[in-house]
Amino acid sequence: MLTKLQYLPTCSVVICTRDRPEQLERCLKAVFRLEYQKFDVLIVDNAPKDTRAWEIARRWGTRYFMEPTPGLSHVRNCGARACNSDIIAYLDDDAIPEKWWLSGLVGEFIDPLVIAVTGQIRAFNDETEPERLRTIPGGIKLGGEEKRVFNSTSPNWFEMANFGGIGNGGNMAFRRQAFDIWPGFDERLGRGAILNGGEEHYAFFSLLNCGYRIVYTPTAVVRHPFPTTPKEIRTQYLNDVPASTAYLTFLFFQEPRYRRAIIKYIAEGIQGVRRTWRPTIAVSYAGIVPWWRKIFAYLSGPAIYVKATLYH
């Protein structure tokens, strides 16, 4: 029987980018320091304004695809269609993977029932004050120090899959064959779409619902930038909360079998029930986000969903 060290499937690292050449260069420098033997790199450029990403790809000797339709889900699906490797690992262009990142993700696929693997996301500097302030849903410091395996019989699996308990899109990998048995990332969701988020969580939910397993491993670490001023933290909060409540509304109408679980989740949130499966940092937004803007942010999600439905 193979050990994780002996298990070396082919892998493609798909870097999703849009008009951020400096970040893309920095990401590539880290990618080419990865400790893994069998991987190639594909840059997928989303509706670019110029040719800088293509020029960077040519200089680094990586493959390059241009996805003309704006939206992160379109980019990720384009990358999957362009790859023939066993495993597809995704990175954002502003991320910096640590050198054992890919090995940490890929090793978990030795279990044939594992369809996806997520890893830990840390800030560039974990000790800064802005990082301690940030507790936004889907935030920067994600994942604990223990490996976890999820399937559709795991306690609270529906909540964890959809609301950040399994992982985040900034650090994840999938078997290539997943895209043959599953439609891929829902292109109504994700950055660049009207429903600006939730696409990776809906992917986790859909795959678990099909009977597969997903693993979270703390050994696969990606570094990511984060807001550094109260203004940036406030802006991020006011972007993330409407996206989260819009995704909740999307789930309510798209997944009627789970409406009772969704209502329970919302009710517990209103009551302040702590999600023990989600890492938290106890801080107050007093003085950063006014109360009336918080309320407006939460209530605007359903309106965003209606808008997306009308435009789809």
Query: H or E segment at 231?
Result: helix 230-254
pLDDT higher than 50, residue 92: yes
Domains parsed from the chain with CATH numbers: 11-229 (3.90.550.10), 231-311 (no CATH)
pLDDT at position 132, please? 45
Q: Quick one: pLDDT at residue 59?
A: 97
Q: Which helix (H) or strand (E) is 208 found in, with range? A: helix 199-209
- Burial class from Cβ neighbours inside 10 Å (0-12, 13-18, 19+) for residue 274 reads exposed
How far apart are the C-alpha atoms of 157 and 98, rounded to whole Å? Answer: 29
pLDDT tier at 1, thresholds 50, 70, 90: low
- Number of residues assigned to the chain: 312
Taking the model in full, what pTM does it have?
A: 0.91
The per-residue pLDDT for range 188-242, each reduced to its tens digit, is: 999 999 999 999 999 999 999 999 999 999 999 999 887 777 888 888 888 989 9
pLDDT of residue 233: 81
Give the tens place of pLDDT for each residue, 247-306. 999 999 999 999 999 999 999 988 988 888 876 544 445 568 888 888 898 899 999 999
